[in-house]
Amino acid sequence: MKTIIAEKPSVAKEIARIIGADKRKDGYIEGNGYAVTWAYGHLIQLAMPDSYGVRGFAKECLPIIPETFTLLPRQVKTDSGYKADVTVTKQIKTIAHLFNDSERIIVATDAGREGELIFRYLYQHLDCHTPFDRLWISSHTDKAIRDGLDNICDGHKYDNLYFAAKARSEADWLVGINATQAISIAAARGTYSLGRVQTPTLAMICKRYYDNEQFTPETYWQLHFIIERDGGNGRKTKAEHSVRFTSAERWTDKTVADETFNKVSASGKAIITDVERKESREEAPLLYDLTALQKEANRRYGFTAEQTLGIAQELYEKKLITYPRTGSRYIPEDVYEGIPKLLSFLKEFPNRSNNVPAPRELTRRGVDDSKVTDHHALLVTGVKPLFLSSRNQTVYDMIAYRMAETFSPDCVRDITTVTADCEGTLFRTRGNRLKQAGWRRITGNDDSETGGQADRDVLLPDWQKGDVLTFPAVSITEGKTKAKPLHTEATLLAAMENCGKETEDETLRTAMKDCGIGTPATRAAIIETLFTRGYVTRQKKLLVPTEKGLALYSVVKSKLIADVRMTGEWEKELARIERGELSADTFRTHIEQYTSDITSELLSCGSLFTQRTTDCACPKCGKGMMQFYGKVVRCDNADCGLPVFRQKAGRMFSDDEIKDLLTSGRTKLLKGFKSKQGKSFDAVVVFDSEFNTQFEFPEKGKKTGGKQRKI
C-alpha cells in the first residue's frame, strides 16, 4: 500500500477520486492500493521556551538559542495555558499508522516552501523512515493531478526547499521569541511583540505616517492659456477640443509668478518653438504573481491582502486557477503551448469574449523559463467558473483578463508635444492619437497597474515650428506640493516586495524581488498580525499606526530589528539555500549572531520606555523640567506636575511637536486629527491661560488668531 498525504481534506478527496480510492475511513480514504490522508495545515510546530526549561521572561535567560529545536503537535490556547489540540493529536496518530504500514509515501502537500515544511516536520516528529516521493503540481484539475502522479519524483529532490523552509521557521522563532522577551523586559510593563518581518513592516508604516504628518507643503504657481479650435491664427483644425497650454516652470515666488503673468497677459501671443512627434509603444503588463494580484485587488476593489489570498486559494481548490502562492510573473515554454486553447476558452463566456486576441496575434510577453521559480504565474485553467460569489468572480476575472492582456500586442500611440514661447516663458501641451489599442482593448479602460488611457484621443492642430498662437487671456493657478500618502495595503505590499525601495520600473522591480521581506505566501499574514497586535488600524484603504504602534516604533526605529534592508538580505539568503547555493548551517550561524545582537540592543532600551530629562522648562511653574514619558509629558516639580498628554483627537504628537508647544505655547498647523464623527481636520494646538490644550483654527489667509475650541 502507498499513502498519499495532502495538505487539506478537500484536496485529499479530489486525489482519492482520481486514483479510485472510495472507502471512507476515520481520517483517510482507502482503495485501489492507496490510502489518502490529510493534514490540517501545520500539524507540528516548534516548541515554546518552556520546553527548554525557560519559564516566564527572565533577562538572565536571554538569548534563548536551542542547540536542537523540539517539535510538538500544534497546541491551542486555553484559560489555563496552551494544550494539545485533540483533533490534531488524533489525526497525527492516524497518519503515523498509515506511514508505518506503507511501502512508500507520496507527498501531495502544496508545492511550495510551507507545504514542504508541513510534511517534513510531521515526518521528523514521527521519526518515520518510510521512503517518500513528491507530487508537484500547480493546478488541481484532473489532468494536472494525473500528470503529476505519472511524474512523481524522489522526495529528496526537494531537500533544499525543506532546508530553506526549516531555516525560515527557526529564524522566525529565534528572532521573534528573543526580541519579544527582550523588549518586554526593557519596557517593564506589558508585552510587546516583535518579529523578523513584522517589525520592519511596522517601521515602514510608521515612517510613512510621520513623513506625511511632518510634511510642509510648498505653494507654487503656474500659468495657462487656451487656444480655441481654429488654432488661434485662423487656420482650421481637426482638434476636437480647445487646447490648454501650461507653463513648463512652476514658480514658488508669487512676485515672480505675478510679473510673468503680467508679461504674458500683455503679449497675448506665443510662438511655437518645437513640435515633437513620436510613436509610443506600451508593452502589456506581465501576468500576475500573488503580490501583484493582491496589490491591484486592493487598489481597485479595496480587498485586503488576506482576503485576496483566501479568494485565490478557494479558486485554486475549485480547480479554476493555477497555484496562487507564486512569486513569478512568467510562464515556461511548455505552458505557453496551451495559451491559445485557454484564450479560446475565454471566448465561450459573453462577459469575457470581447477582444480576446486570435492565435495569430499572440505575443510571447511573459514567457521565460529562466524567470519561473517553483510555480509559474497565475493562469485560469479552462474549468468553467460557475456559481461564484461576486468577490470570487471579481478575482477570477482579474486573472482571466490579465492573461488575455499579457499575450496581446502592444498598445501604440502617436504622441505629439508642442512647446511655445511667450516673452521668454515656455509653455507646453501634449496630444496623443491611438493607432493600435493592442492589449488595452481587452477591458477597454485604463484601470490597470500601468495606468494610461485606452480609447480617448487628444488631437492637436497640425501646428508647425514658427506658427504664432494668439490667446485672449491667461490664467494663473495656485497649487501645493503633496506629501506621500499613508500606506495602503497595495503600496505596503510593493514596499515589502522591493525592500522599501519605490520604483515604477518593471525590470528593476523584478531584480529587487529577491531582497524583499516576507514571501508572496506570507505577506498577507504579516500585515494581519499588525492588526491583531493592535499596532495598526484601517481607515478605509489607509493603514494608520495606533498609539501603541507609534510608541513601539519610537523605541525600535533605529535598531537592527527594524532594518528593512537587513531583513531583506535574510530573505535573499533563504532563496540561496533553496537553490543549493548556501548552507543552512551557515545561515543559522548568522541568525544566531543576529539574535544575540538584537537581544542585547533591545535589553538596553529600558530608558526609552521611562522618563527622559530634556531641556524644556515647565511653561506653567517655571521651576520644574518637563519629563517625557510614553503617553504623557509631565513637570517634575511635585508642586506643579503639569501634564501634557501625547495623544489628542486620535493623533499622536511627536517629541518635536510637544517641544514647540512647551517653548512657544503653540504648535505648527498639524494634520490628522479625528472628530467624534470620524472626520479628519487640521488645527494648531495651543495652551490657554490655565495651560489646558485647545484647538485653534486659523482663518484662511491668516497665520494666527483663529477660533479656539477646548479639548
Give the residue-averaged pLDDT of 18-41.
Answer: 95
pLDDT at 229: 65
pLDDT at 690: 84
Which three-class secondary structure state does DSSP give residue 608? helix
Name the pLDDT band for 711 (thresholds 50, 70, 90): very low
Q: Is 323 a catalytic residue?
A: yes
Cis peptide before 217 (omega within 30 of 0): no
Residues contacting 478, CB < 8 A, separation 6+: 219, 220, 221
Nearest one of 387, 382, 261 to 322, comparing CA atoms? 382
> With 80 as the cut, is the pLDDT of residue 507 above it?
no
Dihedral sign (CA 631, 633, 635, 636): positive
**Adjacent-strand bridge partners of 23:** 30
Query: Of these residues, 121, 162, 192, 323, which one is catalytic?
Result: 323
Chain CA centroid to CA 345, Å: 32
Question: Mind listing the pLDDT tens digit for each residue in 399-427?
Answer: 999 999 999 999 999 999 999 999 999 99
Top-confidence range, 181-195, 449-463, 625-639, 690-704:
181-195
Question: Mind listing the pLDDT tens digit for each residue in 449-497?
Answer: 554 444 467 889 999 999 999 999 999 999 999 999 999 999 999 999 8
State the amino acid at position 422 in one-letter form: C
**Adjacent-strand bridge partners of 387:** none
pLDDT at 271: 97
Nearest one of 460, 408, 403 to 429, comparing CA atoms? 460
Q: How far apart are CA 581 and CA 160, in angstroms?
A: 9
Please name the residue ranges forming H helices in 434-546.
Answer: 489-497, 506-512, 523-532
What predicted TM-score, i.e. pTM, was given to this entire model?
0.79
Name the pLDDT band for 231 (thresholds 50, 70, 90): very low
CA separation, residue 417 to residues 22, 275, 406, 467 (Å): 70, 6, 29, 14
pLDDT at 241: 66
pLDDT at 359: 78
- Phi, psi dihedral angles at 639 (to 5 degrees): -80, -10
Count helices and strands in the chain by DSSP H and E runs? 20, 30
Name the pLDDT band for 238 (thresholds 50, 70, 90): very low
Mean pLDDT taken over the chain:
88
Dihedral sign (CA 311, 139, 294, 573): positive
Q: How far apart are CA 630 and CA 642, in angstroms?
A: 16
Name the pLDDT band for 510 (thresholds 50, 70, 90): low
Residue of higher predicted confidence among 62 and 673: 62
Give the residue-averaged pLDDT of 256-282.
Answer: 96
